[in-house]
Amino acid sequence: MTTAYRPRRDNLWFARTRNYTIFVLRELTSVFVAWSIVFLLMFLDAVVSGSLPAFAALAGQPWMIAINVVALAATCFHAITFLNLAPKATVVRLDGWRVPAWMIQGGNHSLWLLISAVIAYFVLRSP
Residue type, 93: R
* pLDDT interval class at 35 (50, 70, 90): very high
Check pLDDT > 90 for residue 13: no
pLDDT at 8: 86
Q: Determine the longest span between alpha carbons in the chain, in angstroms.
A: 80
Q: Return the pLDDT at 92.
A: 85
The fold for domain 10-84 equals 3 helical TM bundles of succinate and fumarate reductases (1.20.1300)
The domain spans of the chain are 10-84, 91-127
pLDDT, tens only, 102-118: 999 999 999 999 999 99
In tens, the pLDDT along 41-77 reads 999 999 999 999 999 999 999 999 999 999 999 999 9
Please state the separation of Cα 58 from the chain's center in Å.
Answer: 23
Residue 44 has what pLDDT? Answer: 95
Q: Name the least confident of 28-37, 39-48, 97-106.
A: 97-106
For every residue of the chain, DSSP letters joined together read ------PPP-TTGGGGSHHHHHHHHHHHTHHHHHHHHHHHHHHHHHHHHT-HHHHHHHHTSHHHHHHHHHHHHHHHHHHHHHHHTHHHH---EETTEEPPHHHHHHHHHHHHHHHHHHHHHHHHS--
